[in-house]
Structure 1
């Protein structure tokens, strides 16, 4: 059992690369449950039994990139592409506001039509109509000046998974046109500009090793993001990785717990991918230390077109249904939905 390393992480909030590798490659179910109990206690001490909800609007599945794992990659000719209008995006937020959402996550592929000017205009409109709400963007890599303009327009947060802290591994997941160095620069720029910044990675992505994950955890320990998105890798049938195995559900839960122990105040979602790989995944994610859930506010007509991986859940539920379902699911494990912006309240710089 690795109780000693979990206790050390709790005390010191960091481990050496060798210790991370040992913990990740040689954990037992007893270790996982021990970490989950500790993480859940830490989460409740910071957030109580409140779960923050973020309404995701997937506004375009058009992407200039060709990441080998992603269902909306540029080379996927089987995909029916779409792009929501400004009015449709605002309508999604309006509905979400009525259902009690106070954070909207605007997510898309890297779609060149959505210039900084167009995106900033949408952000300003949302902030004007819903001044009590936070706007999170998840639109991929940009240059520092572009991020700065979006921040000036009122964007509060930005999600950009680092995917992997190992440059060699990164290059196995992405085309040569993409750069690990630029991805890391983007994250540094976002944090430096004052965004509440989210990083994260897929657990069990192709060619990932325990050493890769050890580097990821060390990176997260040093970078101290305000949010961490962790979910299991799930293959998509129209990508080069279609025949690769899915990531481990148990390892994903274990790493969620370790992130909470390492960074007690971090905003930590129980992801849709976790709920896709296991029907109780989001509940078990919360019980492992997560405190955020991100249901879908996108129009039903386009939800099945934003398939980053196969068999994604909740593509057929109306937003109100989704909200009520989550309320019941959280109550079933003793938690309640928080109708608030759910800002990061800690001191990570």
Structure 2
């Protein structure tokens, strides 16, 4: 099994049977070797630096009805909110004082936050914080809208494809959404010049090892600058309320595979990992991740942005818990970096 790991590190690719062998591997010694190789590659490219991104969850209103998501249109139990532009700028100001040099605007596909509004908000952030990177994670838009945001000052866009298999995609999403549209949006983002991120939920209902091999093959072809993956965690007010959460171990295997495949990629250790296990964030870093995303959103709104049950949003997950996060990273041999941390740096 270790020969697959060595080959992936050397050649940055494997045949499908190699990826499948790693995905189904349960040998502790082999997995420890896989994670160690990924960690070495990450440190060779980035040193012991972990880049911080300030997450601002701008709205929990969404026009979509994805079966796995707690802020889906059909969830009548959630208290909805939208942040004003001034509140978003306040979040950026607080983050800037704490040392953040990347802001991530994430939200549902909220029709009330029009493209004009998003464009003007990006322009306001760019004007006040010219030395900062601006990442958007606001779902599917037209190519023209993506171009407008980019020309106004957005640098990065994160749009997880969730699953490359069209049939599986249909199991997770309403009929009006399509895997083809999602992939088209990702291609547009790359063509425009964004540092583009995609990714998947690990262990989503109906997912098979073959699906994951398809996802790996897509990411290998697409070569994103950012890869966001995390375990599926059910939400009580969705059709998947009683589904089993995704596996921590499987998520960490994929983290390491992607690090060895794309050594320069920006790969976060996600909030979902920290939600699934108290040491989940650290385990993600030790498997090859090099980004964390503390929450800059107003405290009173964080609990409303519930994509899944028991989402971590306080302590080291929060911007005000940066000192805790620094200690956690130091304990495993890493340091928080306030650099922008662009792709390949």
TM-score > 0.5 by shorter chain = yes
Aligned residue in 1 for 2:257: 258
Aligned residue in 1 for 2:12: 13
Q: Tell me the SS of whatever aligns to 2:103.
A: strand
Aligned residue in 2 for 1:58: 57
Post-superposition Cα deviations, 1:120-167, rounded to whole Å, max 9, x if no partner, equal 111111111011100000000011111000001100000000101111
CA contact (8 A) 1:14 1:218 kept: no
**Higher deviation after alignment, 306-315 or 267-276:** 306-315
CA distance in 2, matches of 1:134, 1:296: 16
Aligned: 1:146 with 2:154: no
Aligned: 1:46 with 2:18: no
Aligned: 1:235 with 2:227: no
**Higher deviation after alignment, 337-346 or 313-322:** 313-322
CA contact (8 A) 2:316 2:325 kept: no
Aligned residue in 1 for 2:159: 160
Normalised to the residue count of structure 1, the TM-score between the two structures is 0.97
Q: Specify whether residues 335 and 26 from structure 1 end up closer, same or farther in structure 2 by C-alpha distance, changes over 3 A only.
A: closer
CA distance in 1, matches of 2:340, 2:300: 27
CA distance in 2, matches of 1:196, 1:145: 17
Q: Tell me the SS of whatever aligns to 2:227.
A: strand
CA distance in 1, matches of 2:31, 2:192: 36
Aligned residue in 2 for 1:82: 81
What is the number of residues matched between the two proteins? 345
**Higher deviation after alignment, 7-16 or 160-169:** 7-16
Normalised to the residue count of structure 2, the TM-score between the two structures is 0.98
Post-superposition Cα deviations, 1:277-324, rounded to whole Å, max 9, x if no partner, equal 010111111111110000100001100000000011124789553211
How far the C-alpha of 1:18 sits from its partner, in A, is 2.9
Aligned residue in 2 for 1:214: 213
How far the C-alpha of 1:14 sits from its partner, in A, is 1.4
CA contact (8 A) 2:294 2:317 kept: no
Q: Tell me the SS of whatever aligns to 2:20.
A: helix
CA distance in 2, matches of 1:276, 1:103: 23
Aligned: 1:169 with 2:168: yes
Aligned residue in 2 for 1:269: 268
Aligned residue in 2 for 1:297: 296
CA RMSD of aligned residues (A): 1.3
Q: Tell me the SS of whatever aligns to 1:84.
A: coil
Aligned: 1:197 with 2:196: yes
CA contact (8 A) 2:199 2:227 kept: yes
Q: Tell me the SS of whatever aligns to 1:146.
A: helix
- Listed as ranges, the gaps of 5+ residues in structure 1 are none
Aligned: 1:93 with 2:92: yes
Aligned: 1:71 with 2:70: yes
CA distance in 1, matches of 2:217, 2:2: 19
CA contact (8 A) 1:13 1:221 kept: no
